[in-house]
Copies of this chain bind each other. A is one copy, B any other.
């Protein structure tokens, strides 16, 4: 598989696949005679894994760690669970923050008449 094919199969932009190769996160299995990156099934699986893990909010470095655990099936699941639980807590914090942001902002927006008058509770709310 060339980079375009593996990019499509993994649902990642070509640029991103190349970037992952550059940073050594998922390296191609080899190069063609003309220098094209060549990927196999196992790299494809890793790329899909990374895409999903990234969408779960794992950082690239965490993906690297996860990929290490993934590759080494002798590792305990404890390490993996630790990472996941940490992520869950971060997500919960982020959601709480967003909730209060949302509440404050919609309160302001609701009290704003949104017409041509210059008075705006959003502006004064932010300023106060």
Q: Could you tell me which A residues sit within 8 Å of B by CB distance?
A: 45, 48-49, 52-53, 55-57, 66, 69-70, 73-78, 80-82, 84-85, 87-88, 91-92, 94-95, 98-99, 101-102, 104-106, 108-109, 112-120, 122-123, 126-127
Contacts and interface: CB of A to CB of B under 8 A. Distances in A.
In the complex, the count of this chain's copies comes to 2
A123 B45 contact: no
A5 to B, nearest CB: 20
A48 B84 contact: no
Provide the main secondary structure of the chain A interface: helix
A77 to B, nearest CB: 3
Given A106-B88, A115-B78, A120-B81, A126 B73 contact: no
A82 to B, nearest CB: 8
Identify the interface centre among A70, A84, A99: most chain B CB within 10 Å of its CB: A84
Contacts of A70: 123, 126-127
B116 A88 contact: no
